[in-house]
Chain A
Amino acid sequence: GQSLEQPSEVTAVEGAIVQINCTYQTSGFYGLSWYQQHDGGAPTFLSYNALDGLEETGRFSSFLSRSDSYGYLLLQELQMKDSASYFCAVSGGYQKVTFGTGTKLQVIP
């Protein structure tokens, strides 16, 4: 089976840095993605890691350690608009994607 664990909620101050962790147990693994979802909206792709290491895209970075079955999303210079839910997702089969339980990030002034 597939399971992905994330913290349910995180609160951080505007301008700060926050890290959202994801640990996974899957029967197959091709890569780890991160998605952002605002209330009432659709998921929006943020990043994808297939290999170990850090991927940086502007204020967002994502890290993967395949040996530890672990990854994280790092958000820098937090803005109020970053308040949303963040999901990690594993591509575990040929075209199968399993989403984590999601982390609700609240950015406070």
Chain B
Amino acid sequence: GNSVTQMEGPVTLSEEAFLTINCTYTATGYPSLFWYVQYPGEGLQLLLKATKADDKGSNKGFEATYRKETTSFHLEKGSVQVSDSAVYFCALREGSTLGRLYFGRGTQLTVWP
């Protein structure tokens, strides 16, 4: 079956620190992979995506590379800001473009000034 496992939080960092949030997946086919971000009291916003192996998704300084050999899609940012404080969700979608999303359990990130 399909599932996503991401590192448990919370993660607490100082401003300008390096961020890594690990995400691994299990899929029956060739999934597309996503990172979503949820700010307090809001819905999910798509942060970045990758649709095939070795693709790198990037947005707002965040990056993640689709690694088929390790079934991973780790989220990284070189220098975090206070405004990055949020919950981050790794997700996959099956090969079908109409497919539902499978989410990890989310990682709470808090960045202190």
Partners in one complex: no
Residues of B near any A CB (own CB < 8 A)? none
Residues of A near any B CB (own CB < 8 A)? none
